[in-house]
Amino acid sequence: MTKFVQAKVGVVLARCWCNAASAQMVLYDNFDASVINPAKWVGNPGDPHILEELRTLAAVPGVPKDKQLHLMQRASGRTTDNSGSTGGLFGLSFPNPSAITALSFTVAVNTVKVVDCTANPGTRTSAEFRGSFFSEDVSPTSSNDDVGADFGIEQSLQESGPTVVGFVYDGNGDVFGYQKLGTVALKSINTLFLQWDQPNHRFIFQLNGGTQVFEPYTVSDTSPPFYAFKDIGFARVVQDCTSTPRPYALVDADFDNVYVNQ
């Protein structure tokens, strides 16, 4: 497993799905303002391998007064060798991540394309939520033992189409659990829900109000993470490659109706 494994929906419907997953949720942002709200979000920086990126509010097609968060990113691989990769995040961060233990949002992936390296395969990208929730250490001194969870729509050459995946991992690259919740169509609007169920030592994943998927863990979960963060946006790993075509990962998606726990 690599380090990487490091639109509108009605408000009433979204709330019902969240309640079904045992969390009391409130609307955090529906992106219907004139600009991205600086009191609610912090911009994730890009990196030198992201050659194209876009982060803006855009009108929902057919509903001009309704807006959504529109993100686009194209990241290219290095051409130095056939043994490494580059990874990174792009999107928006919550300014108070420690307060969030459950989250729901809608996402529609409009375009996704992965060009991999034959000699060094593994390029992938996703539109997702990603965050750290606790540390395995009683007194953490680094983020290596921070435990995080990801939930999003992923694409690689090993997958037949956009695939909804959820996984739990730590900063050392250990993956505690990996779940596939199904494939979705491009441009379809999907509601993703994730909850840290600390009393039962597990994470809950739910797609479109369907069956809840539980991912338990056995490590200590009483300490806050050393590096607290929670993001919505893109993640990617693009492999290094000396041959052509040069590997890259392209993804374009719309995010909306973000709910968080009260």
Total number of domains in the chain: 1
Residues 104, 109, 112, CA angle at the centre, nearest 5°?
A: 140
Residues 37, 108, 168, CA angle at the centre, nearest 5°?
A: 85
Phi, psi of 95 (to 5 degrees): -70, -20
C-beta of residue 178 within 8 angstroms of C-beta of residue 165:
yes
Cα–Cα distance measured from residue 101 to residue 197, given in angstroms and rounded to the nearest whole number? 8
Tokens 């993100």 correspond to what residue?
Answer: 71
Residues of the domain holding 62? 3-261
E strand spans, 171-247: 175-183, 190-197, 202-207, 213-216, 230-239
**Residue 245 preceded by cis peptide, ω within 30:** yes
List CB contacts of 160: < 8 A, sequence separation 6 or more: 183
Write out pLDDT tens, residues 94-152: 999 999 999 999 999 999 999 999 999 999 999 999 999 999 999 999 999 999 999 99
The rounded radius of gyration (Å) of the Cα atoms in the chain is 18
- The domain that holds 34 is classified in CATH as 2.60.120
> Tens digit of pLDDT per residue, the chain (262 long)?
343 443 333 333 334 344 444 679 999 999 999 999 999 999 987 688 898 999 999 999 888 789 999 999 999 999 999 999 999 999 999 999 999 999 999 999 999 999 999 999 999 999 999 999 999 999 999 999 999 999 999 999 999 899 999 999 999 999 999 999 999 999 999 999 999 999 999 999 999 999 999 999 999 999 999 999 999 999 999 999 999 999 999 999 999 999 999 8
Q: What is the structure's pLDDT at 48? A: 85
Which residues on neighbouring strands pair with residue 50, listed in sequence order?
75
> How far is residue 23 from each of residues 97, 143, 195, 197, 259, measured CA to CA in Å?
17, 27, 8, 9, 11
Q: In what order do the strands lie in the sheet with 175-183?
A: 42-43, 85-93, 230-239, 124-135, 146-156, 163-170, 175-183
Q: What is the structure's pLDDT at 175? A: 95
DSSP 8-state secondary structure symbol assigned to residue 235: E
pTM: 0.90
Phi, psi of 61 (to 5 degrees): -55, 130
